[in-house]
């Protein structure tokens, strides 16, 4: 499931970032492609903003394995809308797993998606993530308060993989408590699970600022599935 209902205000352009052109396609098309290509994935749900006018123009919109639904004002609301649709379309009682992937990450490799599937298929689920390479400082009023042990810190990426029933319950509980969750793993953590950190790659960048597009272009040019 791909939440793509954000406005991308940090890009500083009127057009939502998921539709910006990248190597001849929309950014979103790159982000969705590996999931459509992997045959063990039953289907792809793309969550769109209510006022989206762009998705329907993409060739992707007519893909037989893809469904869309309207999202909400926060990322977690969009994810919940997508999950509800997946639940509705699943066979009752089946143990369904769901991958949630940011529309803004166009360079994920299908090999990493498969590793996540293989390494994080238990009850706690997991996510692609990277150990922090830089020395980490805790700040206080613009000065270093302390140097922290970087070995304990990882940067969370997507996709994140969880059991559909457990993730739905965790996100609904977080919504009821009105706690902000910026990724699915944090909702699961709050529900008492310990998601597995599956080592991803530097290339799986999140396009946030305009200069990130150049970097995304570079990484896509390196990748095999282009050839």
Applying CB under 6 A, the residues found at the interface with ligand C5P are: 3-6, 18, 47, 71-75, 78, 102-104
From the CB of 186, what's the least distance to ligand C5P, in Å?
Answer: 12
Q: Which C-beta is closer to ligand C5P: that of 150 or that of 220? A: 220
68 neighbors 169 (Cβ within 8 angstroms): no
Q: Which C-beta is closer to ligand C5P: that of 3 or that of 34? A: 3
**29: helix, strand or coil:** helix
Distances (CA, A) of 51 to 7, 20, 47, 72: 10, 17, 12, 11
From the CB of 8, what's the least distance to ligand C5P, in Å?
Answer: 7
From the CB of 52, what's the least distance to ligand C5P, in Å?
Answer: 10
Cβ contacts of 74 within 8 Å, gap of 6 or more: 180
Q: Which C-beta is closer to ligand C5P: that of 31 or that of 149? A: 31
Nearest residue to ligand C5P, scored by beta-carbon proximity: 6
From the CB of 93, what's the least distance to ligand C5P, in Å?
Answer: 29
Burial class (CB in 10 A: 0-12, 13-18, 19+), 169: middle
Q: What is the DSSP code (8-state) at residue 91?
A: P
From the CB of 32, what's the least distance to ligand C5P, in Å?
Answer: 11
| CA geometry: angle 197, 87, 70, nearest 5 deg | 90
Q: CA-CA distance, 192 to 215, in Å (whole number)?
A: 36
Q: Which C-beta is closer to ligand C5P: that of 3 or that of 126? A: 3
Q: Which C-beta is closer to ligand C5P: that of 58 or that of 74? A: 74
Q: Backbone phi, then psi, for 167, in 5-degree steps?
A: -70, -40
Q: Which C-beta is closer to ligand C5P: that of 147 or that of 182? A: 182
From the CB of 168, what's the least distance to ligand C5P, in Å?
Answer: 16
Structure tokens at 116: 């996540």
């Amino acid at each position: 499931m791909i939440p793509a209902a954000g406005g991308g205000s940090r890009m500083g352009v009127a057009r939502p970032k998921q539709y910006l052109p990248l190597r001849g396609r929309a950014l979103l098309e790159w982000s969705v492609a590996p999931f459509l290509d992997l045959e063990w994935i039953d289907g792809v749900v793309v969550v769109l903003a209510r006022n989206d006018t762009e998705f329907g123009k993409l060739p992707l919109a007519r893909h037989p394995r893809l469904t869309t639904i309207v999202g909400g004002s926060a990322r977690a609301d969009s994810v919940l809308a997508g999950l509800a649709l997946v639940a509705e379309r699943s066979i009752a009682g089946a143990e369904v797993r769901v991958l949630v992937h940011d529309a803004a990450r166009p360079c994920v490799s299908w090999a990493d998606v498969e590793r996540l599937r293989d390494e994080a298929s238990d009850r706690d689920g997991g996510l692609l993530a990277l150990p922090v390479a830089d020395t980490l400082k805790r700040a206080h009023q613009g000065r270093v308060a302390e140097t922290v042990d970087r070995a304990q810190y990882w940067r969370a990426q997507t996709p994140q993989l969880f059991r559909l029933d457990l993730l739905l319950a965790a996100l609904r509980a977080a919504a009821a408590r009105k706690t902000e969750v910026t990724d699915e793993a944090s909702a699961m953590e709050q529900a008492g699970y310990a998601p597995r950190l599956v080592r991803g790659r530097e290339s799986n960048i999140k396009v946030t600022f305009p200069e990130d597009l150049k970097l995304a272009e570079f990484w896509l040019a390196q990748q095999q599935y282009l050839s």
